[in-house]
A and B are shown apart, each in its own frame.
Chain A
Amino acid sequence: MTSYISLPMYAANIDQRLRIIAGKCTNCSIIVYPQRLVCKCCGGKNFDLTPLSGLGELYTFSVLHGGGAPSEFDYEQKMTGDVLCGIVDLFEGPRVMARLADIDSSQLKIGLKLEAVIRRLYDQEGILRYGVKFVPETL
Protein backbone atom coordinates (compact mmCIF):
# COMPACT_ATOMS: atom_id res chain seq x y z
CA MET A 1 0.00 0.00 0.00
CA THR A 2 1.36 3.42 -0.87
CA SER A 3 0.13 6.98 -1.08
CA TYR A 4 2.51 8.10 -3.80
CA ILE A 5 2.19 11.74 -4.74
CA SER A 6 4.26 12.89 -7.70
CA LEU A 7 6.58 15.83 -7.23
CA PRO A 8 4.69 17.98 -9.79
CA MET A 9 1.44 17.36 -7.91
CA TYR A 10 3.10 18.05 -4.57
CA ALA A 11 4.61 21.26 -5.94
CA ALA A 12 1.35 22.34 -7.57
CA ASN A 13 -0.48 22.56 -4.26
CA ILE A 14 2.41 23.30 -1.91
CA ASP A 15 0.60 26.43 -0.63
CA GLN A 16 -2.36 24.36 0.49
CA ARG A 17 -0.07 21.86 2.13
CA LEU A 18 2.09 24.31 4.08
CA ARG A 19 -0.34 27.15 4.80
CA ILE A 20 -3.76 25.47 4.87
CA ILE A 21 -5.28 27.61 2.13
CA ALA A 22 -8.88 26.66 1.46
CA GLY A 23 -11.23 27.58 -1.36
CA LYS A 24 -14.37 29.59 -0.56
CA CYS A 25 -17.10 29.07 -3.13
CA THR A 26 -18.12 32.45 -4.58
CA ASN A 27 -21.65 31.13 -5.11
CA CYS A 28 -22.62 29.42 -1.84
CA SER A 29 -19.71 30.57 0.42
CA ILE A 30 -18.90 27.06 1.63
CA ILE A 31 -15.24 26.64 2.55
CA VAL A 32 -13.58 23.64 0.93
CA TYR A 33 -10.28 22.12 2.01
CA PRO A 34 -8.41 20.54 0.36
CA GLN A 35 -9.35 22.74 -2.57
CA ARG A 36 -11.49 21.21 -5.33
CA LEU A 37 -12.30 22.18 -8.88
CA VAL A 38 -16.05 21.97 -8.30
CA CYS A 39 -17.98 22.95 -5.18
CA LYS A 40 -19.29 19.85 -3.44
CA CYS A 41 -22.31 21.80 -2.28
CA CYS A 42 -23.60 23.80 -5.28
CA GLY A 43 -21.43 22.70 -8.22
CA GLY A 44 -19.90 26.16 -8.49
CA LYS A 45 -16.53 26.42 -10.15
CA ASN A 46 -15.23 29.70 -8.74
CA PHE A 47 -13.45 29.96 -5.42
CA ASP A 48 -11.71 32.67 -3.43
CA LEU A 49 -8.59 31.56 -1.60
CA THR A 50 -9.05 31.64 2.18
CA PRO A 51 -6.36 30.90 4.76
CA LEU A 52 -7.58 28.77 7.63
CA SER A 53 -6.59 29.15 11.28
CA GLY A 54 -5.45 25.54 11.64
CA LEU A 55 -7.53 25.18 14.80
CA GLY A 56 -10.07 22.43 15.16
CA GLU A 57 -11.46 19.45 17.06
CA LEU A 58 -10.88 15.76 16.64
CA TYR A 59 -13.97 14.25 14.99
CA THR A 60 -12.70 10.69 14.94
CA PHE A 61 -9.43 8.80 14.62
CA SER A 62 -7.67 5.60 13.62
CA VAL A 63 -4.59 3.96 15.08
CA LEU A 64 -2.56 2.07 12.46
CA HIS A 65 -0.47 -0.65 14.02
CA GLY A 66 2.54 -2.30 12.40
CA GLY A 67 2.03 -3.21 8.76
CA GLY A 68 -1.12 -1.16 8.42
CA ALA A 69 0.39 2.06 7.14
CA PRO A 70 1.39 3.02 3.59
CA SER A 71 4.88 1.85 2.66
CA GLU A 72 6.46 5.31 2.90
CA PHE A 73 5.72 5.20 6.61
CA ASP A 74 7.15 1.68 7.17
CA TYR A 75 10.45 2.79 8.64
CA GLU A 76 8.91 5.60 10.65
CA GLN A 77 6.40 3.16 12.11
CA LYS A 78 9.18 0.74 13.01
CA MET A 79 11.04 3.51 14.82
CA THR A 80 8.22 5.44 16.45
CA GLY A 81 5.29 3.02 16.77
CA ASP A 82 1.68 3.39 15.76
CA VAL A 83 0.70 5.84 13.05
CA LEU A 84 -2.13 8.06 14.26
CA CYS A 85 -4.63 9.41 11.76
CA GLY A 86 -7.47 11.75 12.55
CA ILE A 87 -10.43 13.40 10.96
CA VAL A 88 -10.45 16.96 12.19
CA ASP A 89 -13.30 19.44 12.16
CA LEU A 90 -11.62 22.73 11.41
CA PHE A 91 -12.90 25.86 13.15
CA GLU A 92 -13.96 27.37 9.81
CA GLY A 93 -16.01 24.33 8.77
CA PRO A 94 -14.03 21.91 6.60
CA ARG A 95 -13.51 18.37 7.86
CA VAL A 96 -10.03 17.08 6.95
CA MET A 97 -8.06 13.89 7.31
CA ALA A 98 -4.51 14.27 8.63
CA ARG A 99 -1.76 12.70 10.69
CA LEU A 100 -1.76 13.37 14.43
CA ALA A 101 1.44 13.93 16.41
CA ASP A 102 2.82 14.67 19.88
CA ILE A 103 0.21 12.49 21.53
CA ASP A 104 -0.06 8.89 22.64
CA SER A 105 -2.89 6.85 21.15
CA SER A 106 -4.27 6.24 24.65
CA GLN A 107 -4.80 9.99 25.04
CA LEU A 108 -6.83 10.44 21.85
CA LYS A 109 -10.37 11.53 22.57
CA ILE A 110 -13.14 12.73 20.28
CA GLY A 111 -13.55 16.48 20.70
CA LEU A 112 -9.88 17.01 21.58
CA LYS A 113 -8.77 20.56 20.68
CA LEU A 114 -6.09 20.46 18.02
CA GLU A 115 -3.89 22.85 16.12
CA ALA A 116 -2.04 22.44 12.85
CA VAL A 117 1.76 22.37 12.70
CA ILE A 118 4.19 21.79 9.85
CA ARG A 119 6.14 18.54 10.11
CA ARG A 120 8.16 16.22 7.90
CA LEU A 121 5.68 13.74 6.47
CA TYR A 122 8.01 11.42 4.57
CA ASP A 123 10.83 11.25 2.04
CA GLN A 124 9.99 10.31 -1.51
CA GLU A 125 12.23 10.45 -4.57
CA GLY A 126 14.93 11.95 -2.39
CA ILE A 127 12.77 14.94 -1.52
CA LEU A 128 11.47 15.75 1.94
CA ARG A 129 7.72 16.17 1.94
CA TYR A 130 6.58 18.67 4.55
CA GLY A 131 2.94 19.05 5.39
CA VAL A 132 0.32 19.57 8.06
CA LYS A 133 -0.10 17.41 11.10
CA PHE A 134 -2.37 18.14 14.03
CA VAL A 135 -1.15 18.25 17.63
CA PRO A 136 -2.95 19.01 20.91
CA GLU A 137 -3.56 22.74 21.17
CA THR A 138 -1.05 24.56 23.38
CA LEU A 139 -1.35 27.94 25.08
Chain B
Amino acid sequence: MPGIISYAVSLPSLRLPASAYVENWGVCEARGLKQKAFCAYDEDPVTLGIQASKLALKRLGRKFPKIDALFFGVTTPPYEEKPSAATLPTALFDYNDIRVTEITGSPQAGIQALIAAIEYCEALPNRYSLAVAADAPVGKIDTHFEHALGAAGAAFVIGPGGGVANMINSLAITQESFGARFRRQGEERITDLELRTQGNLASVTAIGAKFSEIKGVGVGRIAIGAEPAVVRAVNRVFGLPEAEVISLWSQIGDAGSASAPFALAAAFDKMCAGDTVLAVGIGSGATAGLFKAEKGLVSNRGTGITADELIGCGRMVKYIEYLKHKRVFSI
Protein backbone atom coordinates (compact mmCIF):
# COMPACT_ATOMS: atom_id res chain seq x y z
CA MET B 1 0.00 0.00 0.00
CA PRO B 2 1.50 3.37 -0.96
CA GLY B 3 1.83 6.08 1.64
CA ILE B 4 3.91 9.00 2.80
CA ILE B 5 7.62 8.14 2.90
CA SER B 6 8.94 11.60 3.69
CA TYR B 7 7.73 15.10 4.46
CA ALA B 8 9.00 18.60 5.19
CA VAL B 9 7.81 22.17 5.56
CA SER B 10 9.02 25.59 4.51
CA LEU B 11 8.27 29.12 5.64
CA PRO B 12 9.24 32.42 4.12
CA SER B 13 12.02 34.36 5.78
CA LEU B 14 10.02 37.23 7.31
CA ARG B 15 7.59 37.52 10.24
CA LEU B 16 5.15 40.25 11.20
CA PRO B 17 3.87 40.45 14.79
CA ALA B 18 0.13 40.96 15.29
CA SER B 19 1.04 44.02 17.34
CA ALA B 20 2.08 45.75 14.09
CA TYR B 21 -1.61 45.95 13.14
CA VAL B 22 -2.54 47.31 16.57
CA GLU B 23 0.11 50.00 16.23
CA ASN B 24 -0.88 51.01 12.70
CA TRP B 25 -4.62 50.28 12.45
CA GLY B 26 -5.61 50.40 16.10
CA VAL B 27 -6.58 46.76 16.15
CA CYS B 28 -5.54 43.41 14.75
CA GLU B 29 -8.65 41.99 13.14
CA ALA B 30 -7.20 38.48 13.08
CA ARG B 31 -8.32 37.42 16.54
CA GLY B 32 -5.86 35.04 18.15
CA LEU B 33 -3.04 35.85 15.74
CA LYS B 34 0.36 36.26 17.42
CA GLN B 35 2.52 36.62 14.36
CA LYS B 36 2.49 35.58 10.75
CA ALA B 37 5.02 34.44 8.20
CA PHE B 38 4.98 36.27 4.90
CA CYS B 39 6.92 36.25 1.66
CA ALA B 40 9.87 38.54 1.19
CA TYR B 41 10.10 40.43 -2.10
CA ASP B 42 11.89 37.51 -3.76
CA GLU B 43 9.72 34.69 -2.39
CA ASP B 44 6.46 33.21 -3.66
CA PRO B 45 4.61 29.88 -3.55
CA VAL B 46 6.96 28.44 -6.16
CA THR B 47 10.09 29.16 -4.11
CA LEU B 48 8.36 27.90 -0.95
CA GLY B 49 7.30 24.72 -2.75
CA ILE B 50 10.81 24.09 -4.06
CA GLN B 51 12.29 24.61 -0.60
CA ALA B 52 9.85 22.21 1.12
CA SER B 53 10.33 19.62 -1.65
CA LYS B 54 14.12 19.77 -1.40
CA LEU B 55 13.96 19.19 2.36
CA ALA B 56 11.50 16.30 1.99
CA LEU B 57 13.70 14.63 -0.63
CA LYS B 58 16.83 15.30 1.45
CA ARG B 59 15.27 13.43 4.36
CA LEU B 60 15.19 10.32 2.17
CA GLY B 61 18.97 10.35 1.84
CA ARG B 62 21.30 11.00 -1.05
CA LYS B 63 19.71 8.53 -3.46
CA PHE B 64 16.02 9.33 -3.42
CA PRO B 65 13.70 7.52 -5.82
CA LYS B 66 12.69 8.82 -9.21
CA ILE B 67 9.50 10.84 -8.84
CA ASP B 68 6.89 10.01 -11.50
CA ALA B 69 4.30 12.69 -10.74
CA LEU B 70 4.10 15.99 -8.94
CA PHE B 71 0.86 17.51 -7.62
CA PHE B 72 1.03 21.19 -6.68
CA GLY B 73 -1.77 22.68 -4.56
CA VAL B 74 -1.73 26.49 -4.66
CA THR B 75 -4.30 29.28 -4.83
CA THR B 76 -1.83 32.05 -5.72
CA PRO B 77 0.41 30.71 -8.50
CA PRO B 78 2.46 33.44 -10.17
CA TYR B 79 0.74 32.81 -13.50
CA GLU B 80 -2.95 32.30 -14.28
CA GLU B 81 -1.96 30.45 -17.43
CA LYS B 82 1.42 28.75 -17.69
CA PRO B 83 1.88 26.00 -15.13
CA SER B 84 3.88 27.32 -12.22
CA ALA B 85 4.18 23.69 -11.14
CA ALA B 86 6.55 23.12 -14.08
CA THR B 87 9.19 25.21 -12.33
CA LEU B 88 9.33 22.75 -9.44
CA PRO B 89 10.60 19.61 -11.20
CA THR B 90 13.00 21.75 -13.23
CA ALA B 91 14.51 22.94 -9.96
CA LEU B 92 14.44 19.50 -8.34
CA PHE B 93 15.19 16.77 -10.87
CA ASP B 94 17.55 16.03 -13.75
CA TYR B 95 14.78 14.36 -15.77
CA ASN B 96 11.56 15.62 -17.28
CA ASP B 97 9.47 12.48 -17.75
CA ILE B 98 7.25 13.50 -14.89
CA ARG B 99 3.54 14.28 -14.77
CA VAL B 100 2.79 17.67 -13.29
CA THR B 101 -0.66 18.66 -12.08
CA GLU B 102 -1.56 22.02 -10.62
CA ILE B 103 -4.58 22.10 -8.31
CA THR B 104 -5.86 25.55 -7.50
CA GLY B 105 -8.95 27.67 -6.82
CA SER B 106 -9.51 26.77 -3.16
CA PRO B 107 -7.64 26.52 0.15
CA GLN B 108 -8.54 22.84 -0.13
CA ALA B 109 -5.99 22.55 -2.94
CA GLY B 110 -3.12 21.46 -0.70
CA ILE B 111 -4.93 18.49 0.84
CA GLN B 112 -6.44 17.70 -2.57
CA ALA B 113 -2.91 17.56 -4.01
CA LEU B 114 -1.80 15.21 -1.23
CA ILE B 115 -4.74 12.86 -1.70
CA ALA B 116 -4.32 12.96 -5.51
CA ALA B 117 -0.65 12.04 -5.13
CA ILE B 118 -1.53 9.07 -2.92
CA GLU B 119 -4.32 7.94 -5.24
CA TYR B 120 -1.90 8.20 -8.20
CA CYS B 121 0.43 5.75 -6.47
CA GLU B 122 -2.47 3.48 -5.53
CA ALA B 123 -3.58 3.37 -9.17
CA LEU B 124 -0.04 2.85 -10.46
CA PRO B 125 1.78 0.58 -7.97
CA ASN B 126 5.53 0.97 -7.42
CA ARG B 127 5.54 4.55 -8.64
CA TYR B 128 6.51 7.59 -6.60
CA SER B 129 4.86 10.97 -6.43
CA LEU B 130 5.43 14.30 -4.75
CA ALA B 131 2.63 16.38 -3.24
CA VAL B 132 3.49 20.03 -2.73
CA ALA B 133 1.31 22.65 -1.07
CA ALA B 134 2.55 26.22 -0.99
CA ASP B 135 0.63 29.43 -0.85
CA ALA B 136 0.76 33.12 -0.05
CA PRO B 137 -2.75 34.57 -0.33
CA VAL B 138 -2.88 38.31 -0.90
CA GLY B 139 -5.69 40.66 0.09
CA LYS B 140 -6.32 44.36 -0.25
CA ILE B 141 -4.21 46.01 2.39
CA ASP B 142 -7.07 48.01 4.00
CA THR B 143 -9.35 45.02 4.54
CA HIS B 144 -9.91 43.24 7.83
CA PHE B 145 -9.16 39.76 6.59
CA GLU B 146 -5.76 40.84 5.20
CA HIS B 147 -4.45 40.91 8.76
CA ALA B 148 -4.46 37.14 8.89
CA LEU B 149 -2.94 36.35 5.50
CA GLY B 150 0.40 34.55 5.74
CA ALA B 151 2.40 32.06 3.73
CA ALA B 152 3.85 28.56 4.06
CA GLY B 153 4.82 25.43 2.19
CA ALA B 154 4.76 21.67 2.79
CA ALA B 155 5.82 18.68 0.74
CA PHE B 156 5.14 14.97 1.02
CA VAL B 157 6.87 12.18 -0.89
CA ILE B 158 4.59 9.26 -1.64
CA GLY B 159 5.84 5.79 -2.40
CA PRO B 160 5.28 2.04 -1.99
CA GLY B 161 4.93 0.84 1.55
CA GLY B 162 4.53 4.23 3.15
CA GLY B 163 6.89 4.29 6.08
CA VAL B 164 6.04 7.64 7.61
CA ALA B 165 2.26 7.46 7.41
CA ASN B 166 -0.45 5.76 5.42
CA MET B 167 -3.81 7.23 4.45
CA ILE B 168 -6.54 4.97 5.74
CA ASN B 169 -9.51 6.95 4.50
CA SER B 170 -10.52 10.15 2.76
CA LEU B 171 -13.71 12.14 2.46
CA ALA B 172 -14.90 15.29 0.76
CA ILE B 173 -17.82 17.64 1.21
CA THR B 174 -18.63 20.10 -1.54
CA GLN B 175 -20.67 23.09 -0.61
CA GLU B 176 -21.31 26.16 -2.76
CA SER B 177 -19.95 29.03 -0.72
CA PHE B 178 -21.53 31.87 -2.69
CA GLY B 179 -18.22 33.67 -2.83
CA ALA B 180 -17.34 34.02 0.84
CA ARG B 181 -13.74 34.24 -0.31
CA PHE B 182 -12.99 34.68 -3.97
CA ARG B 183 -10.75 36.20 -6.60
CA ARG B 184 -12.30 37.01 -9.93
CA GLN B 185 -10.39 36.35 -13.13
CA GLY B 186 -7.69 38.96 -13.66
CA GLU B 187 -7.65 40.09 -10.04
CA GLU B 188 -4.50 39.79 -8.01
CA ARG B 189 -5.99 40.14 -4.54
CA ILE B 190 -8.72 38.08 -2.96
CA THR B 191 -12.00 39.48 -1.71
CA ASP B 192 -13.48 38.04 1.42
CA LEU B 193 -17.06 38.59 2.55
CA GLU B 194 -15.86 37.37 5.95
CA LEU B 195 -18.52 34.74 6.14
CA ARG B 196 -16.09 31.86 5.80
CA THR B 197 -16.01 30.91 9.44
CA GLN B 198 -19.70 30.06 9.29
CA GLY B 199 -19.29 28.11 6.07
CA ASN B 200 -16.24 26.33 7.36
CA LEU B 201 -18.05 25.30 10.53
CA ALA B 202 -20.75 23.65 8.43
CA SER B 203 -18.15 21.82 6.36
CA VAL B 204 -16.21 20.61 9.38
CA THR B 205 -19.44 19.48 11.07
CA ALA B 206 -20.39 17.57 7.94
CA ILE B 207 -16.95 15.93 7.79
CA GLY B 208 -17.27 15.00 11.48
CA ALA B 209 -20.67 13.43 10.87
CA LYS B 210 -19.34 11.45 7.91
CA PHE B 211 -16.41 10.10 9.90
CA SER B 212 -18.64 9.12 12.80
CA GLU B 213 -20.52 6.83 10.39
CA ILE B 214 -17.34 4.89 9.60
CA LYS B 215 -16.76 2.11 12.11
CA GLY B 216 -13.28 1.46 13.43
CA VAL B 217 -11.94 4.88 12.49
CA GLY B 218 -10.40 6.68 15.44
CA VAL B 219 -9.37 10.29 14.99
CA GLY B 220 -6.55 11.08 17.42
CA ARG B 221 -5.68 14.52 16.11
CA ILE B 222 -6.97 17.04 13.61
CA ALA B 223 -4.65 19.05 11.39
CA ILE B 224 -6.62 21.93 10.02
CA GLY B 225 -4.70 25.19 9.99
CA ALA B 226 -7.75 27.34 10.62
CA GLU B 227 -8.61 30.32 12.79
CA PRO B 228 -9.46 29.79 16.50
CA ALA B 229 -13.25 29.91 15.94
CA VAL B 230 -13.06 26.92 13.61
CA VAL B 231 -10.63 25.13 15.91
CA ARG B 232 -13.08 25.50 18.81
CA ALA B 233 -15.84 24.10 16.63
CA VAL B 234 -13.62 21.18 15.65
CA ASN B 235 -13.06 20.47 19.33
CA ARG B 236 -16.81 20.28 19.81
CA VAL B 237 -17.55 18.23 16.68
CA PHE B 238 -14.87 15.62 17.25
CA GLY B 239 -14.81 15.76 21.04
CA LEU B 240 -11.06 16.24 21.12
CA PRO B 241 -9.04 18.18 23.70
CA GLU B 242 -7.77 21.53 22.43
CA ALA B 243 -4.18 20.35 22.21
CA GLU B 244 -5.13 17.65 19.74
CA VAL B 245 -6.33 20.11 17.13
CA ILE B 246 -3.21 21.21 15.29
CA SER B 247 -3.49 24.67 13.80
CA LEU B 248 -0.46 26.88 13.37
CA TRP B 249 -2.73 29.70 12.21
CA SER B 250 -1.87 31.89 15.23
CA GLN B 251 1.85 31.65 14.40
CA ILE B 252 2.02 31.62 10.61
CA GLY B 253 -1.32 33.17 9.64
CA ASP B 254 -3.71 31.96 6.97
CA ALA B 255 -1.47 30.19 4.48
CA GLY B 256 -4.28 29.28 2.11
CA SER B 257 -3.84 25.85 0.55
CA ALA B 258 -0.69 25.23 2.61
CA SER B 259 -2.41 25.74 5.99
CA ALA B 260 -3.71 22.20 6.48
CA PRO B 261 -0.67 20.41 4.95
CA PHE B 262 1.63 22.50 7.15
CA ALA B 263 -0.48 21.54 10.19
CA LEU B 264 -0.33 17.88 9.10
CA ALA B 265 3.47 18.03 8.93
CA ALA B 266 3.53 19.70 12.36
CA ALA B 267 1.37 16.86 13.67
CA PHE B 268 3.77 14.29 12.20
CA ASP B 269 6.58 16.06 14.08
CA LYS B 270 4.94 15.02 17.37
CA MET B 271 3.26 11.71 16.58
CA CYS B 272 4.29 8.14 17.38
CA ALA B 273 3.70 4.99 15.32
CA GLY B 274 0.02 4.01 15.46
CA ASP B 275 -1.24 7.55 16.14
CA THR B 276 -3.84 8.94 13.74
CA VAL B 277 -4.42 12.41 12.38
CA LEU B 278 -7.19 13.79 10.21
CA ALA B 279 -6.00 16.51 7.82
CA VAL B 280 -8.81 18.82 6.75
CA GLY B 281 -8.57 21.39 3.99
CA ILE B 282 -11.47 23.82 3.90
CA GLY B 283 -13.02 26.15 1.34
CA SER B 284 -16.33 25.66 -0.53
CA GLY B 285 -16.65 22.48 1.49
CA ALA B 286 -13.86 20.37 2.85
CA THR B 287 -11.52 17.58 1.86
CA ALA B 288 -10.10 15.33 4.56
CA GLY B 289 -7.64 12.49 4.74
CA LEU B 290 -7.12 10.29 7.78
CA PHE B 291 -3.50 9.22 8.26
CA LYS B 292 -1.94 6.62 10.54
CA ALA B 293 1.69 7.10 11.55
CA GLU B 294 4.05 4.23 10.79
CA LYS B 295 7.34 3.07 12.30
CA GLY B 296 9.47 5.06 9.87
CA LEU B 297 8.09 8.38 11.07
CA VAL B 298 10.59 8.93 13.87
CA SER B 299 13.69 8.16 11.77
CA ASN B 300 12.45 10.34 8.90
CA ARG B 301 11.77 13.40 10.99
CA GLY B 302 15.06 13.01 12.84
CA THR B 303 16.92 14.41 9.85
CA GLY B 304 15.40 17.82 9.39
CA ILE B 305 14.00 20.97 10.88
CA THR B 306 10.57 20.75 12.51
CA ALA B 307 7.62 23.05 11.88
CA ASP B 308 7.96 24.54 15.37
CA GLU B 309 11.68 25.20 14.87
CA LEU B 310 10.99 26.84 11.53
CA ILE B 311 8.33 29.10 13.02
CA GLY B 312 10.92 30.27 15.55
CA CYS B 313 13.30 31.25 12.74
CA GLY B 314 12.74 34.24 10.49
CA ARG B 315 13.24 37.95 10.86
CA MET B 316 10.60 40.11 12.53
CA VAL B 317 9.89 43.32 10.63
CA LYS B 318 7.93 46.53 11.08
CA TYR B 319 4.68 47.21 9.22
CA ILE B 320 6.18 49.58 6.64
CA GLU B 321 8.74 46.96 5.67
CA TYR B 322 5.93 44.42 5.40
CA LEU B 323 4.10 46.67 2.94
CA LYS B 324 7.21 47.15 0.84
CA HIS B 325 7.85 43.42 0.57
CA LYS B 326 4.18 42.81 -0.30
CA ARG B 327 4.50 45.07 -3.37
CA VAL B 328 1.37 46.98 -2.42
CA PHE B 329 2.53 50.42 -3.54
CA SER B 330 2.81 49.80 -7.26
CA ILE B 331 3.82 47.01 -9.60
Show the binding face of A for B, using Cβ within 8 Å.
14-15, 18-19, 21, 49, 51, 76, 79-80, 101-102, 117-121, 128, 130, 133, 135, 138-139
Contact = CB atoms under 8 A, between A and B. Distances in A.
Contacts of B90: 14-15, 18-19
A117 B94 contact: no
B327 A139 contact: no
Nearest to A102: B13
Interface stretch (B46-54, B113-121, B238-246): B46-54
B218 interface: no
A101 B40 contact: yes
Residue from B42, B44, B90, B305 having most chain A Cβ neighbours under 10 A: B42
B322 to A, nearest CB: 11
B299 interface: no
Given A79-B324, A80-B325, A138-B313, 14 more contacts: A14-B90, A18-B90, A18-B91, A19-B90, A19-B92, A101-B42, A118-B50, A119-B43, A120-B42, A120-B43, A121-B42, A130-B46, A130-B87, A138-B305
Given A118-B51, A139-B309, A80 B40 contact: yes
Contacts of A128: 78-79
B315 A102 contact: yes
- Of the four ranges (under 10, 10 to 19, 20 to 34, 35 or more), the interface on chain B belongs to 20 to 34
A14 B87 CA distance: 10
Nearest to A19: B91
B64 interface: no
B47 A139 contact: no
6 contacts: A19-B94, A76-B42, A102-B315, A118-B47, A119-B42, A120-B44
A90 B75 CA distance: 36
Nearest to B329: A79
B25 interface: no
A117 B153 CA distance: 14
B318 to A, nearest CB: 13
Nearest to A120: B42
A110 B326 CA distance: 31
Residue from B13, B79, B305 having most chain A Cβ neighbours under 10 A: B13
B305 A139 contact: yes
Interface in B81-105: 87, 90-92, 94
B13 A80 contact: no
A14 B119 CA distance: 31
Contacts of B305: 138-139
A77 to B, nearest CB: 10
Contacts of A76: 41-42
A18 B78 CA distance: 17
Interface in B294-309: 304-305, 309
A67 B40 CA distance: 21
A137 B246 CA distance: 29
